[in-house]
Amino acid sequence: MGGPEMHPNQAAFVEGVDHILSKWTALELAVKHEWGGRSTQDKRDNMVDEISDYFDTLVRKRQTPEPTDLQGLLLDILDDDFSIALEDDSEKEVARLMCIVFNECKTGNYATVDRLAAERDAREKQGNSTAAMQSQGNGQQGDSDDSDSGASDSDVSMEE
């Protein structure tokens, strides 16, 4: 990777941003269905860097991150990179949660990042179990892809 090592607080924040984005249903659908073209996954990964850079710039300017300012960046990225125009206002919750994680991480508090990591691990384990069950039952129940998008209430609302 090169470059200087990140401060542990910054590394935790970047991890938190990645976890938050993994819960964002609109973005995950865009990645899954490659709405950003062949480089969709790269665009999603770059989104983490772009958000981290946004917060770094605010810190250098000694400005406090505000969710309302971040919402515009999130909407721009979704529109420019994935051709998504949100109508559910989910960017508000995503921005709010990112600001919470930022404020916690800058003081060395990684509680929310740890919780988000545990939730992501649980979702991935559940997804792996579901995929295994579907492959075992393949052909027995017809096309099971239509039955459930895999999104839970916590994916959509992102409540704490």
* Residue 160 Cα distances to 12, 20, 54, angstroms: 18, 11, 23
For residue 124, the SS3 value is helix
Cβ-based neighbour number of residue 91 at 10 Å: 21
In contact, 48 and 21? CB cutoff 8 Å: yes
Q: Provide the residue type at 64 as one letter.
A: T
> Cβ of 154: how many Cβ atoms within 10 Å?
13
Which one-letter DSSP state was computed for residue 35? Answer: T
What percent of the chain lies above the pLDDT cut of 90?
A: 72
**18-44: string of b/e by CB count within 10 Å (b at 16+)?**
bbbbbbbbbbbebbeeebbeeebeebb
| Distance, CA of 141 to CA of 137 (rounded, Å) | 7
CA nearest neighbour of 96 among 119, 65, 139:
65
Q: Convert the pLDDT of each residue in 22-44 to its tens digit.
A: 999 999 999 999 999 999 999 99
- pLDDT value of position 134: 65
pLDDT tens for each residue of 93-131: 999 999 999 999 999 999 999 999 999 999 888 877 666
Q: In terms of pTM, does the model score above 0.75?
A: yes
